Chain A
Amino acid sequence: MASTNSASALRIIEGEALATSSAANARTLTRADLTDAVYRRVGLSRSESAALVESVLDEICDALVRGETVKLSSFGSFVVRSKGERIGRNPKTGVEVPITPRRVMVFKPSNTLKAAINGESTNGIDD
């Protein structure tokens, strides 16, 4: 019983904080929130929405693993970069260790996304 009380109190506090300063009380969204967004937008069941969110992420992953660049207009692009071998250091012990060649993925946000985050309009910005 006590736990339900504190949970609802927390929600009220969170709501107030969001109204005043959203940055100070940042929330973390997960797959569940994306599923919900899909569910609200398209007339599908929740379980099917969840499966679709998963397959969108899977398709993006698979393309990147194949080494392809994934460009999502007005959002950004995911690029795979190949890194050569280099010498690193264990920050704790100072011992030099070779860092093996590897592939890394980087996200390059579009101008539209950058503008949205800064609360600007996207008029006249190419992405």
Chain B
Amino acid sequence: MIKSELVQRIADRNPHLYLRDVENIVNAILTEITNALSRGDRVELRGFGAFSVKRRDARVGRNPRTGAHVSVEEKSVPFFKTGKEMRERLNDDRGT
């Protein structure tokens, strides 16, 4: 499922909304999570999972093709931990 399909599904369930509104809603959610993470905040969605930011220290990397040393700067990476309910749902109703 891609974003446009997600938007379409929600629009189908909410016939009183314009497709454009649903698009705005989905984008508002994703933008809010992105902004929170770039401030270093966490986003915890019970039953779904939690987004957080992890710091990676600077390190000496290798160019896999040439083997040359390259220094990799310190950086932050987004991290997602699946929520308990989600984890259970993935394994419970394994009907399909």
- Residues of B near A53 (CB, < 8 A) are 25, 29
| Smallest CB separation, A32 vs chain B (Å) | 11
Contact of A70 among B1, B13, B36, B40 (CB under 8 A): B1
Residues on A with beta carbons closer than 8 Å to the beta carbon of B32: 29, 33-34, 37
In chain B, residues 38-79, which have Cβ atoms closer than 8 Å to a Cβ of chain A? 38-49, 51, 53, 75-79
Q: Residues of B within 8 Å of A, CB-based: how many?
A: 52
Contacts of B44 in A (CB 8 A): 28-30
Known A-B contacts A59-B9, A107-B80; the reply to A26 vs B14 at CB < 8 A is no
A28-B26 Cα distance, complex, nearest whole Å: 20
Do A116 and B10 touch (CB < 8 A)? no
Residues of chain A within 8 A (CB-CB) of B29 are 34, 37-38, 53, 56
Closest to B93 in A: A65
**B2-A71 in contact (CB<8A):** yes
Interface string of A104-115 (1 = CB under 8 A from B): 111101000110
**In the bound complex, how far is the Cα of B38 from the Cα of A109, in angstroms?**
13
Complex A-B, nearest 4 residue pairs according to Cβ-Cβ distance, in ascending order? A107-B80, A37-B32, A23-B40, A41-B28
Q: Which residues of A contact B (CB under 8 A)?
A: 22-23, 26-31, 33-34, 37-38, 40-42, 44, 49, 52-53, 55-57, 59-61, 63-76, 78, 80, 102-107, 109, 113-114, 116-119
